[in-house]
Structure 1
Amino acid sequence: MGKPFITREGFEQLHKELDYLWEVKRPEITQKVSWAASLGDRSENADYHYNKRLLGQIDRRIRYLRHCLNDLQVIGFNKQQEGRVFFGAYVEIESDEDESLLQIRIVGSDEIFGRSNCISVDAPMARALLGKSVDDCAEVVTPKGKKLWYVNKITYEKPEWFIEQDIVENSLASDEEGDVEVEQMSDDEQKRIEQEYLKTLVHN
């Protein structure tokens, strides 16, 4: 099984998040945990428990990003893709049913970042569009039945007609997670990650 695909922009965004968590957010929360712990009784210390849980969530996200960035394959534009829908394409499609328009970009599952106009290359819509040219019809199978979409535009450079949506920041302290315990890094793991992280800075 091949490595998951990601665009260059998506890869850089994930690396930017890792940089922020490792260099800024983790030291900040670690300091807060140490300060809260120094106050004494931790059993009713809300600041201590909140920041300790947040630190665990940060560590989990750092582990995920390190694994993710090592496992992803960055895919750039190839001239052979010109005029057809492939990974990384910006596509405008029109519904056969009501002539409504959708403007989307086909990206990797790890780089949607909460944007509704970016779809995973593994999504049914993307699979139906792959290989199509302008004026081709794509049949998308949904739980409500089949729907036809016509391809209006294809480009691999961000077009003016594509409305860029803000990236939804990863929520580390989700209310849904409640008091779930997340394993924090040991000192040995932290040192090992520090060494590996410094190597990535040299290569970049």
Structure 2
Amino acid sequence: MAELDKKITPAGYAVLRAELEHLWKVERPQVTQEVTAAAAQGDRSENAEYQYGKRRLREIDRRVRWLNKRLAALEIVRASPTDGKIYFGAHVTVEDEDGEHNTWQLVGSDEWDVKLGKISVVSPIGLALLGKRVDDEVTVRRPKGDLELTIVAIRYDEYRDTE
């Protein structure tokens, strides 16, 4: 499972990369300028703008360090297998016991967002779906009871290498 935790889709990688760029090139210089201006006003110990600015700089620096480490450790996966099985990156449509359909994309732990239809590949549902095919039935064990799903469709995004 640790190996799965280091995978990310090209779109997910681009989002993290954009966040790093924004923090480093836009937000950090802006906050640094604000802290400098606040420091010029005198007594720093009672200057709320200065205190807040310094705290925000620490938060930005912490996030920048984390993003740099995480981006270096991630493996971008451009899945488009032809064997009909579910792998990382697949968009999977399932039908539950009530006949309701849901479509989810199996993504890395850095990019999941249920509201956007993206679930982590290491979640109980994600793990249950891996390696399955259309018409397979899976049982997902949950605290509130088992969930029975039937796989209705599988598709993969088409990626073009731009690197």
TM normalised by structure 2 equals: 0.88
The answer on whether the counterparts of 2:79 and 2:156 sit within 8 Å (CA) in structure 1 is: yes
Residues 64, 49 of structure 1: CA spacing in aligned structure 2 closer, same or farther, 3 A cutoff?
A: same
Q: Classify the secondary structure of the residue corresponding to 2:152.
A: strand
Where does residue 30 of structure 1 map in the other structure? 32
Where does residue 99 of structure 1 map in the other structure? 99
How far apart, CA to CA, are the structure 2 residues paired with 1:27 and 1:138?
A: 50
How far apart, CA to CA, are the structure 2 residues paired with 1:15 and 1:107?
A: 16
Give the partner amino acid of 1:105. Answer: Q
Where does residue 109 of structure 1 map in the other structure? 109
How far apart, CA to CA, are the structure 2 residues paired with 1:113 and 1:41?
A: 44
The answer on whether the counterparts of 2:80 and 2:157 sit within 8 Å (CA) in structure 1 is: no
Residues 115, 60 of structure 1: CA spacing in aligned structure 2 closer, same or farther, 3 A cutoff?
A: farther
Where does residue 63 of structure 2 map in the other structure? 61
Where does residue 9 of structure 2 map in the other structure? 7
The answer on whether the counterparts of 2:94 and 2:149 sit within 8 Å (CA) in structure 1 is: yes
Where does residue 86 of structure 2 map in the other structure? 85
Where does residue 141 of structure 1 map in the other structure? 141
Which is worse superposed, 27-36 or 1-10? 1-10
- Percent identity, aligned pairs only, is 42
For the aligned residue pairs, the C-alpha RMSD in angstroms reads 1.9
Stretches of structure 1 that go unaligned for 5 or more consecutive residues are 159-203
- May I ask how many residue pairs the two structures share in their alignment? 157
After TM superposition, the runs of 4+ consecutive aligned structure 1 residues lying more than 6 A away are: none
How far apart, CA to CA, are the structure 1 residues paired with 2:119 and 2:107?
A: 6
Query: Could you give the per-residue CA deviations for residues 160-186 of structure 1, whole angstroms, max 9, x where no partner exists?
Result: xxxxxxxxxxxxxxxxxxxxxxxxxxx
Stretches of structure 2 that go unaligned for 5 or more consecutive residues are none
